Structure 1
């Protein structure tokens, strides 16, 4: 397969060009203008940051992408799907509050925010895919309704996948609650009975008669449960929990397959900023010291090549003193595996390449 081009620029600014202007020059040089945006709905997928986390990308960067799409005739919106875990982005109302709290509003970015899988994380489209693990990817409806798909990713470490980049932003990020269940879990949801109040919301939402209430406490019949996760979204006490029992390697492969389901058959373009490289996901309500210094901004039509180029760039950096990575034994020549030893990020890229999503072979074009 021919090498994919990945465009890169560092984080240096001048009196003549600030960082937002430099990002715009990067994505235009990388070829975003080759896409026909005229009057097309354009989903810009990003992570708005869990409240309390300060490593997420500033809305200023989102505004650059939004304004560029508008200049090219497109109709952009910022989007993400609700989370599987309990936090500030579990439903669309809390998710929007979190986005606004972190500065993502029509006034700061120039477009609206749409939570792609609806109020409770159940507004989804099933996308058929002949994957090794996935047959019908469950994707947030607004993502699939878009004509064009763009990612703006904060490239950082991740405790389960090694790092979170373009593919993590696409695959896991675009999954509905049922999709996230499928990727994270080999099993079915369960009830923490000490938190259950026996309200019956889980019974009313289930189409398979799996939840039951005994002595005012719910339990889930796993013989009937199909693992859709709807009960998780409606529980007012967060008593229904996902098992999160899938192996990290299979999780990575499922993310690759979900990513293919999202991008196949329509124009897509990908941007990653390798800055504030925290050891864990922006889903955390905190962020630790970056594990390496800021690297730069990257863009490509190929999300696999983009992730590989960003990972290689991070692994060329020195370790930040006092970081989680600095505290870990350096048993590998790999910052991500040293930081999270139970992970292997290469599995995701190898599987993505295998299923035809892109290539790990890239030509780095510095501007």
Structure 2
């Protein structure tokens, strides 16, 4: 089947809400709103002020999980106390209810039948407190995944520290200090991300929606303390109920761009085999790469 992806070139908080409404969905109950809150020192993440009208629209709670990397990478979000302090410094707690989903254990462990790399996914236990999810992704590059969008938010974004280690090692270890060089092929990490993303999407089947904002298009992620400045002009906002289709549409917009920085951006994506994450997710069957782009 073909998925619908709504698209506008005007990047404003109001247009985020407008595109979400075009999906015609109403997220029930208590809504988890997954964002990237931005690492300490990062200049490219999308601010609470930008997302506020959308979060208010669904009366949502901002959710995040602790990271697997720590002081060696310069980040502070690998343990709850420092992560919470940074959420305060970045203004998230001023505007919203905030939940670090793996602040306390044990993790939720979801089995993965037929996974390409993983047999299970470990997610923050508080995810079970929510009836539905809104995934607000800042689409940009990523040092390991090539790019970050909806699928990354579902996978690494919702995984606990142990879950992140499992994804990065393609199922070899849940030790966050030993996971970084454990996978042996360029396909293993993208496939592990696709596996993990599937569990979250399927948990909220029929109760999940996605918005990708193509702004501040750096080759680096919002998890980078020292991130490269954007190399391309902003492109727009996309919304869909299909995480595969929305990420594919974003990649197609990048590849169709005549921006002088597109080559640099795509070099990051291709060198990390990033598009394979989209292909693997489509292979697993919880989304499609075939979509209709509805510009509005």
Is 1:361 aligned with 2:290? yes
**1:258 matched to which residue of 2?**
196
Q: Does 1:154 align with 2:138?
A: yes
Aligned pairs for 1:1-367 (under 5 A) are 2-11=1-10, 19-31=12-24, 34-37=25-28, 40-70=29-59, 76-86=60-70, 87-105=75-93, 107-108=94-95, 111-118=96-103, 122-130=105-113, 131-185=115-169, 227-229=173-175, 240-246=177-183, 247-266=185-204, 267-320=207-260, 335-336=265-266, 338-339=267-268, 341-367=270-296
Aligned length: 288
Task: Indicate conservation of the 8 Å contact 1:292/1:318, yes or no.
Answer: no
Structure 2: gaps (5+ residues): none
- For normalisation by structure 2, the TM-score amounts to 0.91
Going from structure 1 to structure 2, the CA distance change for 1:99 and 1:318 (only over 3 Å counts) comes to farther
1:186 to 1:307, Cα distance in 2 relative to 1, 3 A: closer
Q: CA deviation at 1:186?
A: 5.4
Q: In structure 2, how many angstroms separate the alpha carbons of the residues matched to 1:152 and 1:312?
A: 19
What residue in structure 2 maps to residue 220 of structure 1? none
Assess if the C-alpha contact under 8 Å between 2:27 and 2:208 holds in 1. no
Query: 1:53-88 CA deviation, whole Å, 9 max, x = no partner?
Result: 010011123212221113xxxxx2101111000121
Residues 314 and 341 (structure 1), Cα distance of their counterparts in 2 relative to 1, 3 Å cut: closer
In 1, Cα distance between the equivalents of 2:148 and 2:116?
22
Deviates more, 1:273-282 or 1:134-143: 134-143
Q: CA deviation at 1:320?
A: 4.5
Seen in structure 2, the aligned counterparts of structure 1 residues 155 and 187 have a Cα distance that, compared at 3 Å, is: closer
Per-residue deviation, 1:145: 2.8
Per-residue displacement from partner, 1:314-346 (whole Å, max 9, x unpaired)? 22223456xxx66x5xxxxxx42x235531122
**Partner Cα separation in structure 2 for residue 47 and residue 248 of structure 1:** 25
Question: If the length of structure 1 is used for normalisation, what is the TM-score?
Answer: 0.74
- Structure 1: unaligned runs, 5 residues or longer: 13-18, 71-75, 189-226, 233-239, 329-334
Separation in 2, partners of 1:300, 1:277: 20
> How many angstroms does 1:179 deviate by?
0.9
Q: Tell me: CA distance 1:242–1:133, structure 2 relative to 1, closer, same or farther (3 Å).
A: closer
CA root-mean-square deviation = 2.0
The structure with the largest alpha-carbon Rg is: 1
Q: Distance in 2 between matches of 1:161 and 1:42?
A: 27
CA distance in structure 2 between the aligned counterparts of 1:149 and 1:340, rounded to whole angstroms: 27
Contact 2:5 2:246 in 1 (8 A): yes
CA distance 1:187–1:305, change in 2 (3 Å): closer
1:30 Cα offset (Å): 2.2
8 Å contact kept, 1:6–1:300: yes
CA contact (8 A) 1:129 1:136 kept: yes
- For 1:351 and 1:133, the matched residues in 2 are separated by 10
Q: Is the 8 A contact 1:160 1:248 kept in 2?
A: no
Deviations 1:69-117 (A, max 9, x none): 13xxxxx210111100012101111111112212212x33xx3111111
